[in-house]
Amino acid sequence: MGLDHYRYKRDKVASGDDRIGTMKDAGLRDLEAVLAIARRGTFRAAAIELGMSTTALSHAIARLEAGLGVRLFNRTTRSVSLSDAGRQFVASVSPALAEIRGAMDSVRAQGQTPSGMLRINASAVAGREIISPLVLDFLRRHPRMQVDLVTEERLVDIVAEGFDLGIRTGDLVPRDMIALPLGKPQRYAVVATPAWLADRPLPLVPADLLAHDCIRVRLPNRELFRWYFERQGEVVQIDVRGRLILDEAAIARAAVLEGAGIGFFIKQNVAEDIAAGRLIRLLEDWTPPRPGFCLYYPGRRNPSAGLTAFLAMAREMAAQRN
């Protein structure tokens, strides 16, 4: 076994594998050591600058030189100088390390002063809800921050798709996320145009909807939404009938306004239409509140200063609304 081990080591050295393995162990500390010696002119002065012993520094350089297969320093008992290979090495490594230091300082600064990009995924309604009171105010307070707000109705994995935060109604927040309620519950509204109701019976209870053509909605999980009603403790869910199935609230609203049937919306989506008389609200005493919007994010250590500041402002806004 001893002979086999010797042959194995011999073959690795001959092929350069041993040298490559040693180089994988060379870290920033070793490279900084080379630059410190070149800058200070002695191992002792460089060791003091780096906060390590002269012996440890000497071993680190010897290990690096063995991995490179070339001597970086010419040294005697009285002096140290760079070899030709050492001068080339320092000339190449110096700017690369400067870039690495700059990158590390930049990232470190994001943990201290809000700066950089914050990516948020939200439904269209949630985006409208928070853009003025939260996002725009956040940008005014923190001029070094940027916000990329993406609105879509499909539910996305915010971690897998590179988002820092998501905003959805509380019932749609994934269970493995930390949720921060942003305000009061929303309300539903069942609506139709005056023309639609002119020659049809007015729905007085949820079951009456089965006699009407309703705009059906497909949820992000591909299931059809069942209209939910509640009054004085009585809960009713209706799988309404209708020839049109949609997956976007704005398109559904347009269809209802065109007289395609009865629709079921978050009240704020159709509040202006109701106020203007374009739509009539139905079954108002049967339409309960639904969970309000929540800002959610994965639990993480060492959040950036930007994320921390945004969460603090979200808590302020929620406290003011409640």
Write the pLDDT tens digit of every residue in 175-198: 899 999 987 777 889 999 999 999
Residue 44 confidence (pLDDT): 87
Predicted pLDDT at 20: 34
**How confident is the model at residue 7, as a pLDDT?**
37
Nearest to 293 by CA among 115, 114, 168: 168
| Burial status of residue 244 (CB atoms within 10 A of its CB: 0-12, 13-18, 19 or more) | middle
Can you give the pLDDT at residue 216?
Answer: 95
Pick the range with the lowest mean pLDDT from 29-33, 57-61, 242-246.
29-33
265 close to 191: Cβ distance less than 8 angstroms: yes
- The reported pLDDT for the residue numbered 114 is 86
Report helix, strand or coil for 140. helix
Name the DSSP letter for residue 207.
G
Residues 171 and 26 in one domain: no
For residues 157 and 301, state if they share a domain.
Answer: yes
For residues 98 and 122, membership in a common domain is answered with no
- Separation CA 321–CA 133 (nearest Å): 11
At residue 191, φ and ψ (nearest 5 deg) are -140, 155
> Pick from 292, 270, 290, 295: which is nearest to 281 by CA?
270
Alpha carbons 185 and 167: distance in angstroms, whole number: 14
200 with 285, same domain?
Answer: yes
Please state, for a pLDDT cut of 70, what percent of the chain lies above it. Answer: 87
Give the containing element (helix H, strand E) for 149.
Answer: strand 145-151
Whether residue 23 sits in one domain with residue 55: yes
Asked whether 107 and 134 are in contact (CB, 8 A), the reply is no
What three-state secondary structure class fits 212?
A: coil
Cβ atoms of 191 and 280 within 8 Å: the answer is: yes
The mean pLDDT of 78-104, rounded to a whole number, is 82
Rounded mean pLDDT, 279-300: 88
Candidates 318, 311, 316, 315; CA nearest to 118 is: 311
CATH number at residue 193: 3.40.190.290
Of residues 89 and 113, the one with the higher pLDDT is: 89
The residue type found at 14 is: A
Same domain, 249 and 315: no
Query: What confidence tier does 158 reach under pLDDT thresholds 50, 70, 90?
Result: very high
Q: Do 165 and 226 reside in the same domain of the chain?
A: no
Q: How many domains does the chain have?
A: 3
Q: Confidence band (pLDDT; 50, 70, 90) for 281? A: very high
The last residue of a domain, from among 95, 110, 125: 110
φ, ψ of residue 15 in degrees (nearest 5): -85, -10
User: What global pTM score does this model have?
Assistant: 0.54
Instruction: Return the minimum-mean-pLDDT range out of 28-37, 96-105, 232-241.
Output: 96-105
Kindly report the average pLDDT of the chain as a whole number.
Answer: 84
Shared domain for 137 and 161, answered yes or no, is yes
Residue 97 three-state SS: helix
Half-sphere exposure of 104 (CA within 13 A, CB side): 7
Range of the domain at 297: 116-184+292-321
Separation CA 135–CA 182 (nearest Å): 13
Q: Is residue 66 domain-shared with residue 126, that is, in the same domain?
A: no
